[in-house]
Structure 1
Amino acid sequence: MEKFVDMKTRFSGVHDLMKFRVTEILLISTEYDAYVLEEDGQLAEQIYHQFNDLSIPFIPRIHWVANSEEAFEELKMRTIHLIITMSRISDMSSFEVETTIHEAYPTIPIVMLSYDRLTPEMIAKIRGISCINRVFHWSGDNKVLLAIIKYIEDQQNVEADSRLGVQAILLVDDSPVYYSQILPIIYTEILTQTRCLLLHAMNVSHGLLRVRLRPKILLAETYEEAMEIIRTYRYNLLGVISDVRFPKDGALNPSSGFELAQSVGEMITNFPFLLQSEELENAEKAKSLNLHFLNKNSPNLLHDLRTYILENYGFGSFVFKYPDGRVIAEASDITNLERIIRDLPDESLYYHASNYHFSRWFRARAEVEVADKLRFVDPKEFGSISDMRNYILKVLNDYFLKYQSGLILDFEGLSKKDMENAFIKLGTGSLGGKARGIAFMNSMIAKSRLADKYEDIKVKVPRSFVIGSDVFERFIEENNLYSFIACCPKEEEIAQKFTESFLPATAQVNLRLLTQYIKCPLAVRSSSILEDSRVLPFAGIYHTYVVPNSHEDPEVRFKQLSDAVKLVYASVFYAAPVQYAKNADIRIQEEKMAVLIQELVGERYGDLYYPAISGVAQSYNFYPYNPMKPEEGTVSLALGLGKAIVEGERVYRFSPAHPKLNPLISSPDEYLKKSQNAFYAVNLKASADITLRADEDYIYEKLPISQANKDQSLEYIGSTYSAENDCIFDTVYQPGPKLVTFAPILKYNRLPLTQIINDLLSLGMKSFGANVEIEFAVNIPKDKSKPKEFNFLQIRPMVIGREALQVNLDEPRESWCFSQRTIGNRFFQSIHDIIFVNPETFQLQDSVQIASEIGELNNLLFKEGRRCILIGFGRMGTSDRWLGIPLSWEQMSQALIIVEVDRKDLRPEPSLGSHFFHNLTATNMGYFHIQYDNEDQGKVDWDWLLNQPVLQQTKYVKLVRRDEAFEAKIDGRSFKGIIYK
């Protein structure tokens, strides 16, 4: 039997544990990446919660630098414990920065974060570079940063701490993408476990000991590396979680996991060993060897892994069972454990003792002394089950004589004063991409002193409340929704199930307080960890709900708000995000949803509520015309709520570098026909007691421009058409139909709108190190004494110029589609299918039916896992059926190339500010725009296309399939694209 160290000695030796701590981190990245990882409060807050309430008196600090020169200056100034470099590894020809730093400071571990899905060749290259400790994959969840910090600490401390009985879990996997997902899950469970243990500590020293005795996580990427760890720490291992296929003897071995399990089984009896694989044939082999197995492709993988950890490593409650698996009772703490053991049936006590379950449970709780004593409880060595029971009870009684039962944590609600802040977080976890961007820009606006830079208009972020992503995870867990989702229910069923479920209690308290203090309408928006990120934008894929928040009954207001939150949660599992994620090779189960609740920007006009101006600005213009330049950007403006812009309806578009330049419209009469003819508002009276449902559009009211004229909200944005003179007057104080031209602002500078937009775009580009897109709304109060407000709503990076390859279009080959108005920079060589709207039967009035038929054929390709070229007329993805085909994302999810074709009677400008357009560019799809009657700029050879073999067709749409792949090329430098015959 191993030596039992006296508890008093253990307590006094607490400071000998975890001697290496990461307190100073050097981050080499763009300024925005630095903000994502620290300044948005996520990493700092997570570390604060994870460390502060674990009685650790320090919090790691991040020092950001932009390049190697600044890095060396920082290294000279202070002691750094960890260096994190964040970049797109595929863009790097070498690792000069890391190598140079490592040569000068060889003892500092260097970890690399990558946005890229790494190829085996790239991983092999990184392994060959000794200066890089590990490479991790950044998917938007900042918990990976906490995992990196703890992993480096564990790696540095395990040798010394294992001598004092500290346990470890070994993860064996050679995929950075996968272990970057799994490590945060394991650490979250361990830190959750540790936090619970603190509630039962005898005193401060005991609590601190439990913190520092928490299990360590070790990582191996090869068989040899794993075996070295197992041989060294065999007496300290709680378990091994291993892939099946990983390198052995210098080559990828499809059976490494089984060979590792066999070797471990020969060394350690009754040892938890979990195999994971994407190859289902390994499941039967694992079963035959009595090994636990998880399918990496399972939609419930992360949930199943968490369950396995809880059940096999002694985390969570101790579940007493009969040998056949029937549950007898559960013990959440030591008091209940002791009570149950006294009356436990003999066969259950023998089962748990002989399988080392008691020892494992205590070892996971950092109670190493008790674990050591119970580890060697061999039932055969006791004269009877009664003697064994008495021994176990004596060990427990001696050690936990002064053990205290658990405490209840008090919840402190938000105060009224708190509600006055611009940005408030409710719950723990990630802010998500959308809220993170808002918080970042809120801090940047303050730092750059933009808020009060302009006279008579305030630049601000509307009051924002974020429900952290951990609330989403608790909501799913507490309502047992994983199993429900696994059955693939319809969207209406998902919405109903989620709204019938209950939010965690603390979230309910927060939302009740919020509806008490906030009296204006609220926009409840998704803010997932992937949304608006540099990984993938998910722009407009999830739902947004407007809550009127105007009912006199607070219970009605609370129910509307809580239902909106739950419906945002539900939208994670709808068809559009699931297909969108699958096409991007992302597991939707990786997604974690925060919820952003914002004051809806606007003014009340009777029962209507809407802002004077909504806008989307982009720092890069895909379709400039003389004298515009692409890098000067573009802005889309609309009267009323921004739904008109993001859904691709008629809005006003201009260049912020040339605000007085008129649109390319030939006559005032044409301007009248093509300008914004309706706007969106919320009717507070009609919607006061509305019951929220999955369809998010019901809350909006679409109104004619004449209504805004009645409301007198056109003063700053309107003009008047004079039929008598066939001209447009830049004022609303003339008789005649009103137009939305924004002339008073853009031509006569009644508001410094263009200057503010340029300032924010410049600030965003500098901070992100990339082109950006921002959303905003301008409120012009009816009360002239109140300042006007430019409300910053959202920012996201644009994916421009990411492709480094040069595309040659000079080959003399025959094509069937050509355009000089394209987006993208890519070769397409594996598309065999084309979905196209039949030009011979197309009727604009049937555009809704056409969208449905495209969706039907798209779903066929989705089931087959095939991608396609999609060709249609007018705008694709618009919500205005008279501008094109109103496709939702799931109806066109399989398209790799979109071709929008103008007709004589249908020539809308591309909807650059729409969510559809942003997702198209960000997912690296190809886009062709074919102008009407301008073959020098683009064409489609309809005769050739109509003669291709048709696989399936509907009334208006055809699906063409060819054995030989279509080849397409787009040159992002010249905006030219070709699809070859």
Structure 2
Amino acid sequence: MNRFGDMKARFSGIHDLMKFRVTEILLISTAYDAYVLEEDGMLIEQIYHHFNDLSIPFIPRIHWVADGEDAWEELKLRPIHLIITMSRISDMSSFEVETKIHEAYPNIPIVMLSYDRLTPEIIARIRAISCIDRVFHWSGDNKVLVAIIKYIEDKQNVEADSKLGVQAILLVDDSPAYYSQILPTIYTEILTQTRYLVLHAMNIKHGLLRVRLRPKILLAETYEEAMEIISKYRHNLLGIISDVRFPKNGVLHPQAGIELNKIVRENIPDLPFLLQSEEAENAAKAEALRLDFLNKNSPKLLQNIRTYILENYGFGSFVFKYPDGRVIDKATDITNLERIIRDLPDASLYYHAKKNDFSRWFRARAEVEVADRLRFVDTENVSSAADIRAYILKVLNGYFQKYQSGLVLAFEGLSKKDMENAFIKLGTGSLGGKARGVAFMNGMIAKAQLADKYEDMKIKVPRSFVIGSDAFEKFIEENKLYSFLATGPTEAEIAQKFTASPLPAGTKENLLVLTQYIKCPLAVRSSSILEDSRILPFAGIYNTYVVPNCHADPEIRVKQLEDAVKLVYASVFYAAPVQYAKNADIRIEEEKMAVLIQELVGEHYGDYYYPAISGVAQSYNFYPYDPLKPEDGIVSLALGLGKAIVEGERVYRFSPAYPKLNPLVSGPKEYLEKSQHAFYAINFKDSADITLRADEDYIYKKLLISQAHKDQSLEYIGSTYSVENDCIYDNIYQQGPKLVTFAPILKYNRLPLRQIIKDLLGLGKQSFGTDVEIEFAVNIPKDKSKPKEFNFLQIRPMVVGREAFEVNMDEPEAFWCFSHHTIGNGSYQNIHDIIFVDPADFNLQNSVQIANEIGELNQVLIREGRRCILVGFGRMGTADRWLGIPLTWEQMSRAMIIVEVDLKNLRPEPSLGSHFFHNLTATGMGYFHIQYDNQAAGMLDWEWLLNQPVLQQTKFVKLVRRQEPFRAKIDGRSFKGIIYK
């Protein structure tokens, strides 16, 4: 039975375990007895420490009363979960109170705690009183109180929890004095084991699950009680500890324990069974039956029981032995266990498998599914130890894959093995928006079983590590950076101050360990608590830094990683996010930054490192053309790193619904001209000694497509242009210039890329309840024996904004701009300003200066608190100055509407996959695209605009303002937009 086989069952089932908790205890005793328990025994302190260090929020509270009248009042005031009575044996009449309470509240367990000497006659008299569930002996050790609480909880919860795989230890003994000693000893070992397991849990939820899955202790005082428990919970028992003499058929039976063992051996032959007795002659009987035996009279009895539990119930380390008892090695955790098993001598492997030790060890760790699979290793019929070893390793490998797939693991205590294919959190606090989206989809990919769906490609999330947002707050506070920021420093000064400030000690130590385990390039990305939210994405507003992580000196590697983290922290306070937050009426002080560290996807090609394919896919297409529909989505693909896509450069676009449909170009020659000419790679030449800078570009190298051809990385994505025939061949083996078309994949399906994208967009859209955008990278290893990998990098919800309301566009007012290619929905009013690039002076050679001049006029509007319409040529916000105007967010932050205008020799595709474009739509800005020489699709009245009153102008840019506001409307249903005169 797969009790915890999927993510939901494993962790969401936490709340279905241990539903009954003892949180309110009513103590009926004399004032002196209460004082003895409370003060001399330090009861509250003992209970607190036992519960608090296991992160159990239900710490019991004790309400003391001296008599029955006060007890009735307490029972009326609050729900009571356990009643402990300390009635004196000499005054048996006092049980009248307990009897009446039991009649009125039959579901509240009543336990008697006595420090009188309990003779067999007295015990018999107490057991005759039906209101008393159990009697315990108080010897001055306050641990018995904790044992009573846990025993009552176990007794109430075992029936429900056993169905979820919880294990149990059965203690069979009829002596209250004895089991009052033994139960605390067993519980101490169980709680010690549980604390150990919590420390080695994969995350907080896994730790809580292990607390609630801890083995229960069941107590039987008679043969019949024991047999009922064994029959009911035979598949849940870790072991039995039994006296030899106890009641059977209503009378003391001198061999009851031995008869009980006989029945158990017939039904559960591998179950650990410990006999114990005060009669020394029973030792010989146990030896004859090859049973473990302990003498109750031994001065080392409690110590011997602890040793027995550790050796037989799978607690503590797994001790590998030869059959003759010689110790070979110890495994402290599951990773070490797997490592040792690989080289374990056959004799030892067979010995432990036959004794079912592997299954028991996992069962003690609450890994029920693994324990069940290992329990059925058939040592009798398996042909060789090699087959046993292979089966065990297969089960363990499945365990690692299952737990690492789709879960956020806690970093502390993890080994290198644990870090394979995992999403790991360092420290506490929020994951932030970006990391949260990746972690969520990591889980959804595992749950939907997509990882190995396609034979030709593995779907995965690259190894990811998140520094929680608490580290950011601690970093700011410890270095007193808010007071520094209040002085209004420049971005360069912020970067310098932050990189000179030390990270919190715990964060620094985690990064040191991380660089020791991970030896590949790392991308250090922002993951703020506001980032990639459903209403405000902050896409590309914060910086991402690449760390080569290849220096021979580990101190330099960790220093580079630390600097990258600090620079991500610093970017919170740069101009772009500050202005972006102001536009959204958010105080930047509300922002908290987590940091996502991901393995950078790619292959080494000499001094360069890059993936074969990077991509951005959107489930909604703002610019469909026949036969495409908006809901078909759109995908942007690029050779090399995704920087080319998110910064709005030339890339390849296609619809997953029509992958073979060629771009809208007039012919092969134009196809060549408009295709991707260059790509981004990481430059590893001399990069080991780099000093990280705030501008992010310290390590990137822009290379020509011819370099990729030399690297032999175009096989799956390249085509050849034939100058002689003016045609394109869908391979790279012809003579002629190479271009990036992705034809081998999209036309001939050499890789199932389209199908994977459709799967992930569908999964994301269903999970988020809205349209989504995903980023990914495809690695095609040079080593053909290695699998190809589709690496899921990021997801964010799209703000489509077309559902709000229908906009009336039929008003008979004169307009100066209209377009059938718009984004947005609604009416835009109270705009008195327009910033536009003068068409008479525009030249792409001046695009960088034009961007700066727009930023200068934007500052005027920032100071005055005004918004504007921004009109420019080509692609706005692109990083490629030859495609348009390379604006940064802070340079155009006051724009409410952006108008991109094509020219005869400047007609780039709209920047659908760019961060700039995504933030534009998410912040509710309007967008107009005016195509060249197509007045039916859109037009702009330049003559009217040039005659508007100029408030201020620079060399290439003008700011016009008038008293009457400009008014604009965009209908998101028809993609039609108008700006009225």
Distance 2:913 2:655 in 1: 13
Aligned to 2:539: 539
Report if aligned partners of 2:802, 2:973 keep a CA contact under 8 Å in 1.
Answer: no
1:868 is displaced (CA, Å) by: 0.6
Indicate the residue corresponding to 1:479 in structure 2.
Answer: 479
**Structure 2: 5+ residue stretches without partners:** 1-30, 45-50, 61-409
Letter in 1 for 2:57: I
> Residues 809, 52 of structure 1: CA spacing in aligned structure 2 closer, same or farther, 3 A cutoff?
farther
1:284-306: CA deviations, max 9, x gaps?
xxxxxxxxxxxxxxxxxxxxxxx
Structure 1 match to 2:424:
424
Residues of 2 paired with 1:545 and 1:513: CA distance?
20
Name whichever of 802-811 and 820-829 sits farther off: 802-811
Query: Aligned letter for 1:884?
Result: G
Distance 1:9 1:945, change over 3 A: farther
Secondary structure of residue in 2 paired with 1:830: strand
Task: Give yes or no for the alignment of 1:780 onto 2:792.
Answer: no
1:948 to 2:948 alignment: yes
Who wins on radius of gyration, i.e. which is larger? 2
Cα gap change, 1:968 to 1:8, in 2 (>3 Å): farther
Residue of structure 1 in register with 2:507 after alignment: 507
Counterpart in 1 of 2:188? Answer: none
Residues 662-811 of structure 1 mapped to structure 2, 5 A cutoff: 662-801=662-801, 804-811=804-811
**Cα offset for 1:888?**
0.4
- Give secondary structure in 2 for the equivalent of 1:852: helix
Residue 585, structure 1, aligned to residue 585, structure 2: yes
CA shift in 2, pair 1:963/1:417, >3 Å: same
Structure 2 counterpart of 1:952, which letter? Q
User: Hey, what's the Cα distance between the residues in 2 that align with 1:480 and 1:923?
Assistant: 32
Relative to structure 1, the CA distance from residue 793 to residue 9 in structure 2 (aligned partners, 3 Å threshold; closer, same or farther) is farther
CA contact (8 A) 1:550 1:684 kept: no
**In structure 2, C-alpha distance between the alignment counterparts of 1:947 and 1:561, rounded to whole Å:** 54
- Taking the aligned partners of 2:792 and 2:58, their CA distance within structure 1 comes to 37
1:415 deviates by 2.8
Is 2:526 aligned against 1:529? no
Residue 627 of structure 2 corresponds to residue 627 of structure 1: yes
| Structure 1 CA distance for aligned equivalents of residues 857 and 677 of structure 2 | 33
Query: CA–CA distance in 2 between the matches of 1:699 and 1:736?
Result: 31
C-alpha separation between the residues in 2 aligned to 1:421 and 1:58? 38
> Structure 1 pair 710/56, CA: closer, same or farther in 2 (3 Å)?
same
SS at match of 1:538: coil
Which runs of structure 1 show a deviation greater than 3 angstroms over 4 or more consecutive aligned residues? 5-12, 50-55, 410-414
**Letter of the 1:836 counterpart:** F
Give SS of 1:896's match: strand
Instruction: Quote how far apart the aligned CAs of 1:51 are.
Output: 8.3
CA-to-partner distance for each residue in 1:75-133, whole Å, 9 max, x for gaps? xxxxxxxxxxxxxxxxxxxxxxxxxxxxxxxxxxxxxxxxxxxxxxxxxxxxxxxxxxx
Alignment match, 1:863: 863
Using the alignment, how far apart are the partners of 1:684 and 1:52 within structure 2? 48
| CA gap 1:747/1:421 in 2 versus in 1, 3 angstroms | closer
Offset at residue 859 of structure 1 (A): 1.1
Compared CA separation, residues 931 and 413, structure 1 to 2 (3 A): same
Match of 2:736, SS state, is coil
Shift in CA distance, 479/411, structure 1 to aligned 2, threshold 3 Å: farther
Aligned-pair CA distance for 1:487? 1.2
Q: 1:455 Cα shift?
A: 0.6
State whether residues 531 and 537 of structure 2, in contact with CA within 8 Å, keep that contact through their aligned partners in structure 1. Answer: yes
- Whether the 8 Å contact between 1:634 and 1:656 is mirrored in structure 2 is yes
Could you tell me which residue of structure 2 aligns to residue 911 of structure 1?
A: 911
Structure 2: distance between partners of 1:891 and 1:465:
33
Superposition map of 1:35-54 within 5 A: none
CA-to-partner distance for each residue in 1:895-944, whole Å, 9 max, x for gaps? 01000000001000001000000000111100000000111111111110
Cα shift at 1:803:
5.1
**Greater mean alpha carbon deviation, residues 428-437 or residues 798-807:** 798-807
Q: What stretches of structure 1 of length at least 5 have no aligned partner?
A: 17-49, 60-409
Alignment of 1:290-329 (within 5 A): none
Give the SS at the match of 1:713. Answer: coil
* Structure 1 residues 683-734: Cα deviation after superposition (integer angstroms, max 9, x where no partner): 1123111000111012110000000000000000000000011000000011
Q: What amino acid does structure 2 have at the position aligned with 1:480?
A: K
Instruction: Answer yes or no: is the 8 Å Cα contact 1:414–1:513 preserved in 2.
Output: no
Deviations 1:817-840 (A, max 9, x none): 100000000101111111000011
8 Å CA contact 2:819–2:928 kept in 1: the answer is yes
Aligned to 2:894: 894
In the TM superposition, residue 658 of structure 1 has moved relative to its aligned partner by: 0.1
In 1, distance between residues paired with 2:518 and 2:537?
30
- Root-mean-square deviation (CA, aligned residues, Å) is 2.3
Change (3 A) 1:834 1:506: same
Q: Tell me, yes or no, if the aligned pair for 1:680 and 1:701 is still in contact at 8 Å.
A: yes
Query: Would the alpha carbon gap of residues 561 and 10 (structure 1) be closer, same or farther in structure 2, given more than 3 Å must change?
Result: farther
The 3 A distance-change label for structure 1 pair 414 and 851 is same
Q: 2:412 touches 2:426 (CA, 8 Å); kept in 1?
A: no
Residues 517 and 803 of structure 1, relative CA distance in 2, 3 Å threshold: same
- Written as runs of structure 1 = structure 2, the 5 A alignment for 1:100-249 is none
Closer, same or farther: CA 672–421 of 1 in aligned 2, 3 Å:
closer
Q: Residues 851 and 887 of structure 1 are in contact (CA less than 8 Å); yes or no, is this contact kept in structure 2?
A: yes
1 CA distance for matches of 2:751 and 2:622? 27
TM superposition shift of 1:963: 1.1
Residue 741 of structure 2 aligns with an amino acid whose one-letter code is: T
1:55 to 1:446, Cα distance in 2 relative to 1, 3 A: closer
AA aligned to 2:864 is: E
Relative contact order (C-alpha < 8 Å, sep 6+): which is higher?
1
Amino acid across the alignment from 1:872: G
Aligned-pair distance for 1:53? 5.8
**Cα deviations by residue, 1:471-496 (Å, 9 ceiling, x for unpaired):** 00000000000101111110000000
Distance 1:926 1:665 in 2: 27
Q: Deviations for 1:375-429, whole angstroms, at most 9, x for unmatched residues? A: xxxxxxxxxxxxxxxxxxxxxxxxxxxxxxxxxxx99554323322420000100
Taking the aligned partners of 1:11 and 1:898, their CA distance within structure 2 comes to 73
Q: Report the alpha carbon displacement of residue 801 of structure 1 after superposing the two structures with TM.
A: 3.3
Q: C-alpha separation between the residues in 2 aligned to 1:412 and 1:973?
A: 51
Letter in 2 for 1:779: N
One-letter amino acid of the structure 1 residue matched with residue 573 of structure 2: F
**In 2: Cα distance, 1:51 partner to 1:632 partner:** 54
Structure 2 counterparts to residues 51-66 of structure 1, below 5 A: 55-57=56-58
The equivalent residue for 1:459 is: 459
Aligned with 2:870: secondary structure?
Answer: strand
C-alpha separation in 2, matches of 1:911 and 1:428: 37
Q: Aligned residue for 1:566?
A: 566
Aligned residues of 1:641 and 1:681 also touching (Cα < 8 A): yes
Verify: 1:971 aligned to 2:975, yes or no: no
Give yes or no for contact 2:719–2:731 (8 Å, CA) kept in 1.
Answer: yes
1:753 partner amino acid: L
What CA distance in whole angstroms lies between the structure 1 residues aligned with 2:794 and 2:910?
22
CA distance in 2, matches of 1:879, 1:699: 16
CA distance in 1, matches of 2:416, 2:669: 53
Amino acid at match of 1:980: Y
SS in 2 for 1:594: strand
Sort the Cα spacing of 1:692 and 1:751 in 2 relative to 1 into closer, same or farther, 3 A.
same
Partner secondary structure for residue 688 of structure 1: helix
- After superposition, the Cα gap between the structure-2 partners of 1:957 and 1:757, relative to the gap in structure 1 and judged at 3 Å, is same
- SS class of match (1:964): strand
- Match of residue 176 from structure 1: none
Q: Secondary structure at the match of 1:845?
A: helix
User: 1:446 maps to what in 2?
Assistant: 446
1:724-755 superposed Cα distances (whole Å, 9 cap, x missing partner) = 11000000011110000000000000000000
Which residue pairs with 2:923 in the alignment?
A: 923
Q: State the secondary structure of the residue aligned to 1:635.
A: strand
Give, in whole Å, the separation in 1 of the partners of 2:723 and 2:705. Answer: 17
Question: Given that residues 684 and 699 in structure 2 are in contact (C-alpha distance below 8 angstroms), is that contact kept between their aligned partners in structure 1?
Answer: no
Residue 607 of structure 1 corresponds to which residue in structure 2?
607
Does structure 1 conserve the Cα–Cα contact (< 8 Å) formed by 2:37 and 2:43?
no
